[in-house]
Chains A and B, each alone.
Chain A
Amino acid sequence: MSDVVSTGQLAVGTTPSSGPPRRRGAAALVGPAAVALTAGGALVVLAKVDPNQPGHYPTCPFLFLTGMYCPGCGSLRALHDLTHLDVVGAWGMNPLLVLVVPVLLAFWVAWTVRSWRGTPRQRVIPALWINVFLGLVLAFWVARNIPALGPWLAP
């Protein structure tokens, strides 16, 4: 039975109806706990090592190659501000990241609850929502490179 369980998350090409039985309870929380520990450890490092100081982290690849901001530029400094509970500073660095963090937290909570109950993922987000998010990312990408909007959107 454990052989079948180990393929539960990774089986992509299988037919959707062939859901294998899953672990439940504490044994199923290994994944969410590992993600929480990894993210928490990264945030601790990010809180201690200031990305506002030069030389601590490499430059964004897109900015380095093109000289333009990408939607992720400033996200590391925004996360650093969030670890110090400076939401206003984080918003000034990357408002997209400030909006995305609660969504990611909600996804993690839903994943943990599903793992605990042993139920597979049933509901899917409407594709329209993802498309709206995609449009938001693309618009943000363009807008933060417009000099007139730079004071609000650029990092």
Chain B
Amino acid sequence: MSTPNEPQNPYGEQPQNPEDPFRKADPSPEPPAAPQYGAPGYGAPQAPQYGAPQYPGTPQYPGGPQYPAAPPYQGGYGPTPPPNYLVWAILTTVLCCLPLGIASIVFSSQVNSKFAQGDYAGAASSSNKAKQFAMWSAIVGGVFIVIAFIAGIAGGFSENSNY
């Protein structure tokens, strides 16, 4: 993006920024403020979070150099990888019932490989499948344990607990 240019523009316009946009007295200075905070793409949720504590510094001009500190947040976070549920896959594989847990590991791997290739939609889809398989693996295992306990109460409990 054009982030190297943006911190330079506010320096020239800075005497306007603490006065007009935040007191909302004049709607005309808002278009220069909109590309300043809206353009990084994350929109409203992050702007109040990281931006707002810095505004008390801006009426004093030493607050101005804090504007270049904002883009590293967005550039450093980047796209958040979707959860691959690898821990759930491992847990259901090692502690639970098998074939579904193995499938969960396969999709967990797909999440990371697709995300690394930039296929974010595919990674999200694999993430959902990994979650489904891990969840159903745990549910099937839980149902089996319940059945086993009921059978154990009925008298046919396992001779040795080969779990």
Contact = CB atoms under 8 A, between A and B. Distances in A.
Interface of A: 4, 9, 12-21, 51-64, 70-77, 94, 96-97, 100, 103-104, 107, 119-122, 124-127, 130-131, 133-134, 137-138, 141, 155
Nearest to B99: A62
A122 B144 CA distance: 37
Most buried by B among A13, A15, A61, A63: A61
A124 B109 contact: no
B163 A57 contact: yes
Contacts of B81: 16, 121-122, 124
Contact of B94 (A56, A64, A100, A134): A100
Interface stretch (B4-12, B25-33, B122-130): B122-130
Nearest to B128: A12
Contact of B77 (A51, A71, A120): A120
A103 to B, nearest CB: 8
17 contacts: A16-B120, A54-B160, A55-B161, A57-B163, A58-B157, A59-B162, A61-B97, A61-B141, A61-B144, A64-B158, A71-B93, A72-B163, A76-B95, A122-B80, A125-B84, A134-B106, A134-B109
Nearest to A50: B161
Given A13-B124, A21-B46, A51 B83 contact: no
B87 A107 contact: yes
Given A58-B158, A134-B106, A16 B80 contact: yes
B45 interface: yes
Interface of B: 41-42, 45-46, 49, 76-84, 86-87, 90-91, 93-98, 102, 105-106, 108-113, 115-116, 120, 123-124, 127-128, 131, 140-141, 144-145, 148-149, 152, 157-163
A8 to B, nearest CB: 10
B161 A72 contact: no
A127 B113 contact: yes
A119 B158 CA distance: 47
Nearest to A59: B158
Contacts of B160: 54, 59
A126 B112 contact: yes
B163 A19 contact: no
Nearest to B108: A130
Nearest 7 interchain pairs by C-beta: A58-B148, A127-B113, A130-B109, A16-B79, A59-B158, A76-B163, A57-B161
A55 B93 contact: no
A60 B163 contact: yes
A27 B160 CA distance: 44
